[in-house]
């Protein structure tokens, strides 16, 4: 099993928001402390704009850098565009591993799976699996990611 994560994904938070860094920190701690499942740890891939533009508009990518809240549930945070890119990169690494027949899990916080083509939604800024997933796999990947979100285990 490969777990793709980045310690930086626990470096941001918004007071009072239900999406918290502790979800990932506690999951990583628990996984590192167990011995039953051999785990290889991986890092998110670097994600270029050309990949993100498969799922999002150019205007959306520019908007990620504007220091203003996206809506009442989606605050702007310093470096949020970098966190969004790392989240996408982790999902793409997991997809790459799965296509190679390996078991992998992207253990990252949002920003991620609720964002739509032209805007962030909820705590999420960029869609994680959509940039490279063929259209016929998108529903399946979304179902798998939703069913295995770390918050369900913490």
Residue 54: CB atoms within 10 A of its CB come to 11
For the question of residue 113 being annotated catalytic, the response is: no
Exposure class string for 33-52: b at 16+ Cβ within 10 A, else e: eeeeeeeeebebbebeeebb
Q: Minimal CA–CA distance to 129: which of 87, 82, 79, 80?
A: 87
Catalytic residue among 17, 60, 113, 114: 114
Which residues carry out catalysis? Answer: 114
């Amino acid at each position: 099993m490969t777990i793709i994560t980045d310690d930086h994904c626990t470096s941001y938070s918004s007071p009072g928001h239900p999406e918290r860094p502790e979800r990932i920190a506690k999951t990583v701690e628990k996984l590192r402390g167990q011995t039953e499942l051999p785990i290889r740890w991986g890092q998110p891939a670097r994600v270029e704009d050309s990949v993100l533009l498969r799922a999002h508009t150019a205007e959306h990518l520019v908007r990620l850098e504007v220091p203003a809240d996206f809506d009442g549930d989606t605050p702007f945070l310093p470096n949020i565009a970098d966190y969004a890119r790392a989240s996408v990169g982790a999902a793409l690494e997991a997809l790459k591993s799965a296509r190679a027949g390996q078991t992998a899990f992207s253990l990252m916080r949002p920003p991620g799976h609720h964002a739509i083509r032209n805007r962030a939604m909820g705590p999420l800024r960029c869609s994680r699996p959509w940039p490279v997933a063929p259209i016929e796999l998108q529903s399946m990947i979304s179902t798998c990611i939703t069913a295995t979100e770390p918050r369900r285990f913490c």
